[in-house]
Amino acid sequence: MRRFAMAVATYAGCGLFAQICAWLGFLPPWLPTWWCVGAAVVNTLFYLAIRSGYNLRLRDPSMTELQLVASMVAVMVLVYHADAARGALLMLFPVPLLFGVLRLRLLQMLRVGLVAVAGYAVVIVVLLVREPQRIELNLELVNLLSLSAVMVFVALMCAYISRVRVELSRSLAKIEDMAQMDALTGVFNRRHLDATLLLELQRWGRRSRSGLVLCMVDVDHFKQINDTYGHAVGDDVLVAVAQALGTSIRANDYLARFGGEEFVILLDMSSAEDWLTVCERARRQIEVLQIAAIDNTPVRISMGVALCAHGDTAATLLERADKALYRAKAEGRNCIRVAPESTAITAS
């Protein structure tokens, strides 16, 4: 819609230019008004196609190429009636191609450019057949040659810029992914967790989800692993734990590294049996891990669980889960404990 609005503004500018040409005597006085009416009708059709969703059925939902072809036809109408100012109005042909920078590939750009060149050639032929007194053939052929060269050059440059834009978009997406992913474990990081938790709390408040459960996970005796085997091996353990947690939760659940050896899992469910099944599966998945770097020493996790309640914020939900995690640590580790404020059952 932003590109469509820019296109409408461009049509308005061309309409004003056509009116000035008419005042100066280079276009028929009636032409600018009817030209603007035709442009309004065409753009209304494009607007209705976008608003109704009909454009989504097309191969190119933006209809960029189709809109550019329509604009080329509009320019041809002005060029046909321009007579002495025909050469000046040819400068309007490259303008629509600039919109193609936002969407089109080289072949599409060249197709649109070909429409402009072919359209001008048709204008020359029609004038030559119907009103030869209005045309100087040699001059028009020079104009046609110049237009062809300009359109090819503009199409090549616009296509190049479009390709660079796509590459930059991909690079930006990669940077955004890197900014929200934990570099070591490959799961979401604390920054992404904070944003996601706020969003999920809003969804829960609107009843867009049945229940929100936050699980704080901590690797038991992780400092001992680091002290015994070194930090590099400790990193390997964290990667293995993250992978095991990721495979034990469901596709619509959420996993992030909270910091150090702590992870957070967000579950969308209200039944204690449901979330407990997922948590217990994750705990057992870690329990059976075989990590050669630590001589297959068993890895254990403790989990603190908080069920979202009315009045909870991101901070209070994390705090409740953290207190439940400390209880799990104090009561022997390798177990699941629920925040006392919750009405859910406590499980071992």
Q: Which residue numbers are catalytic?
A: 261
Neighbours of 209 (CB within 10 A): 16
Residues in the chain: 348
Looking at the DSSP assignment, which residues form a beta bridge with residue 254?
266
Which helix (H) or strand (E) element contains residue 303? strand 301-307
Do 117 and 173 contact (CB within 8 A), yes or no? no
Q: What is the spatial distance between Cα 177 and Cα 181, in angstroms, rounded to a whole number? A: 6
CA dihedral 227, 230, 233, 239 (to 10 degrees): 60
Q: What is the spatial distance between Cα 276 and Cα 213, in angstroms, rounded to a whole number? A: 10
Tokens for 65, please give them: 């190429």
Those residues with Cβ within 8 angstroms of residue 67's Cβ, 6 or more apart along the chain or in another chain: 4, 7, 46, 96, 99
- Listed in sequence order, the DSSP H helices in the chain are 2-23, 31-52, 64-82, 86-89, 94-100, 106-130, 137-180, 190-205, 222-229, 231-248, 272-287, 314-330
Strand duo 262-268 + 254-259: pairing? antiparallel
**Three-state secondary-structure class, residue 333:** coil
One-character DSSP codes across 213-278: EEEEEEETTHHHHHHHH-HHHHHHHHHHHHHHHHHHS-TTSEEEEEETTEEEEEEE---HHHHHHH
Between the two ends of the chain, the Cα-to-Cα distance in Å is: 55
**Three-state secondary-structure class, residue 209:** coil
Strand duo 301-307 + 254-259: pairing? unpaired
